[in-house]
Amino acid sequence: MSAAAGRGAVAVVTVVRGRADHLARQRRLLATGPAMTHVVVGMGGAPDLDGAGPPTRALTVPAPGPLPLARARNAGAAAALDLGAGLLVFLDVDCLPGEELIDRYADAAAARPDALLAGPVTYLSEGVLPERDLHRHLDPHPARPSPEPGVLVDEPRRELFWSLSFAVTARAWTAGGGFCERYAGYGAEDTDFALSCGLPLVWVGGAHALHQHHPPARTDPDRVAEIVGNARVFRSRRGWWPMAGWLRELDAAGAVEFDPERDVLRVV
């Protein structure tokens, strides 16, 4: 019996619009792992579930404007709780689950049931799309800790949280209150969640995810207004500017004017 199988129902929550190939590859890998239900939330339309996959609950949230990532994750979590899940694993559609991802999160949840659990992420190069022996491709992003398998590391810097791959118990999710739905589109909603949920952030060694290649969202001109809008929402809630590195890059590229000393951020 896998570690996850002995610890109550597990739901993996994935939100998606487009990216059908990424979703299909993720679902094939989930189907080979521990028992779980895949909660797939289509943003603005029904998700494409053709092909092999694990047991699935599919739902749709309206998306008349920017991608409602926060609302979609909240809806997915609500569906997972309705299914009786004791552990919620959030996995971006771009991410492939490492061979031990669910079991490592389950072990961590048993030890730290009131924590926000995050695993290391490897960014795959363009054209690298493994579906077996994923451990051969592991090269965790250096900007985040990557403990040894089975090791849990407390992280005081909650701004390092990322929503590509994380897990919470049902109890912790309910206590944390979910994502703020004032955010729409890319950026800052995950940092806000980590700061507002009140849960300690813990890095989970061995809970690897592998991010399938695509151009960064911040380089898409259509995302600039979303990033600026979300940064302003965050600034109004927290009193400081998030995503400073992104905003400086966009300022240098002439896409925005960002001057934190004058408290200025606007699309050029």
Per the model's pLDDT, the better-predicted residue between 162 and 74 turns out to be 74
pLDDT band at 127 (very low <50, low <70, confident <90, very high): confident
pLDDT band at 1 (very low <50, low <70, confident <90, very high): very low
Farthest CA pair distance, the chain: 58
Contact of 191 with 161, CB cutoff 8 Å: yes
Query: Domains of the chain: which residue ranges?
Result: 4-214, 218-267
- What radius of gyration, in Å, describes the C-alpha atoms of the chain? 18
pLDDT of residue 170: 97
So what's the pLDDT on residue 5? 44
Please report, for residues 23, 44, 202, 231, 262, the alpha-carbon distance to residue 166 in angstroms, rounded to integers and kept in the order given: 17, 24, 10, 22, 35
pTM of the model: 0.93
Could you report the per-residue pLDDT of 77-106, keeping only the tens digit for each? 999 999 999 999 999 999 999 999 999 999
Q: What is the pLDDT of residue 4?
A: 54
Report pLDDT for 219.
66
What's the pLDDT score for residue 113?
97
Q: What is the tens place of the pLDDT at every residue in 173-201?
A: 999 999 999 999 888 999 999 999 999 99
**3-class DSSP state of 166:** strand
The pLDDT value recorded for residue 77 is 98
pLDDT for position 222: 82
pLDDT of residue 206: 97
Q: What pLDDT digit, counting tens, does each position of 12-30 carry?
A: 999 999 899 999 999 999 9
Q: pLDDT, tens digit, for every residue of 216-251? A: 666 678 889 999 999 999 999 999 999 999 999 999
Q: Are strands 95-97 and 116-118 parallel, antiparallel or unpaired?
A: unpaired
Fold classification of 4-214 (topology level): Spore Coat Polysaccharide Biosynthesis Protein SpsA; Chain A (3.90.550)
pLDDT value for 40: 98
pLDDT, residue 186, reads 86
Of the candidates 100, 105, 111, the one whose C-alpha atom is nearest the C-alpha of residue 90 is 105
**% of the chain exceeding 90 in pLDDT:** 83
